[in-house]
Amino acid sequence: MNLYYNQTDGRWSTADAWWVSGNALQDVLDYMYKTGSAEYMDKAAHTIEIQRAPLNWWPQGGGDFRADSTDDTGWWALALLRMYDITQDASYLNISMEDEAYMYSYWNQTPCGGGIIWDIRTLSYKNAISNELYISLAAALHNRIPGDTEYLAKAETAWGWFKNSGMINSQNLINDGLSQTTDANNGDAAVCVNNGQPTWTYNQGVILGGLTELYRATNNESYIQEARLIADAVINSPTLSPDGILTDPCEVAAGGGGCDGDAQMFKGIFARNLAGMYSVLGQGDQVQYRQYLEQNAQTAYAEDRNATDFYDVSWGGPFAGSSIAKQASAVSLLVALI
């Protein structure tokens, strides 16, 4: 808060991607929700007030967290739901409902038989993150609105499409999205297939949140079983969890030199959603997941932190420098364990 927060524009870093500030807001709100602190409430409300206004850099409207990709809206909408949880102020719930409608307006059957497109400028790309965020948002709205059936039906439909889309690979990990090709066995008809792009940790994480919300809504064990398959795949992956430390594919150099400002945020999102998932399990089933996060937090604290409590991207260290995304990711990890 002291180094990164910009009171003037209500963002943690004007130079970094807008969605990163949405996640930093989520971190601050999660901290207050779990601890009962109201220390940052004024700044959180200030951020929401300023950032919901039309964006000067987005020429096609803006307002209530609308930008040039559907996932931007999803990040802010989920943060607004946490603000609603803390305050019970229905205005925050209403904004999240508007955001859901905006995201859903980009659901279409062609291509890929369903799904929400990611890139609003070009109306293209069915990817994991936009659809995972939509599942999480719709299911979370259902769980906060007594008597709802609409949001639950949408979330279940979106999950059914996602599960069968091909984005979940044979290792139970989620690649970035879908690409179009032709099926020679079906008259060269257009089909959508897994694009084989990286299995980013945040794509493994957000779906855990969506499946957990669906489980809370329905008590259908299949949802939490699917979530555990994905979580276990991450924990047991020699690529994503070498030596038990969560690692993104871009961490190819000391200090995560291959990770851009977006990817520096990814691992904290996984940690946040893994903690949410294991919170609905029995105590015995929680142990392995909590121990995994504890190992990551202890390692990051010992190896990836400087003398003034800033963190780098690679939790196994060494520390080379911080950024708002790196710091917010570490906050997500630590708050997940409260």
Containing structural domain, residue 120? 106-235
Residue 56 covered by a domain? no
What's the structural domain count of the chain? 1
Average pLDDT of span 127-151: 98
Residue 71 covered by a domain? no
Residue 258 covered by a domain? no
Report the chain's mean pLDDT, rounded to a whole number: 94
Write the pLDDT tens digit of every residue in 262-309: 999 999 999 999 999 999 999 999 999 999 999 999 999 999 999 999
Residue 182 covered by a domain? yes
Question: How far is Cα 4 from Cα 24, in angstroms, rounded to an integer?
Answer: 10
Residue 165 covered by a domain? yes
Ramachandran angles phi, psi of 107, nearest 5°: -80, 130
Residue 31 covered by a domain? no
Give the pLDDT confidence score for residue 292 in this predicted structure. 98
Residue 184 covered by a domain? yes
pLDDT at 193 over 70: yes
Closest CA relative to residue 167, chosen from 179, 155, 157 = 179
Count, in order, helices (H) and strands (E) of the chain. 11, 4
Residue 287 covered by a domain? no
Query: Tokens standing for 48?
Result: 């929401």
Question: How far is Cα 20 from Cα 258, in angstroms, rounded to an integer?
Answer: 18
Contacts of 167 (CB under 8 A, 6+ apart): 128, 174, 175, 177, 178, 194
Closest CA relative to residue 177, chosen from 132, 126, 131 = 126
pLDDT at 312 over 80: yes
Write the pLDDT tens digit of every residue in 157-187: 999 999 999 999 999 999 999 999 876 566 6
Give the pLDDT confidence score for residue 69 in this predicted structure. 94
**Where do the DSSP E strands lie in the chain?**
117-119, 124-126, 178-183, 189-194
Give the pLDDT confidence score for residue 288 in this predicted structure. 98
Give the pLDDT confidence score for residue 214 in this predicted structure. 98
Output the domain CATH number for residue 160: 1.50.10.20
pLDDT at 59 over 60: no
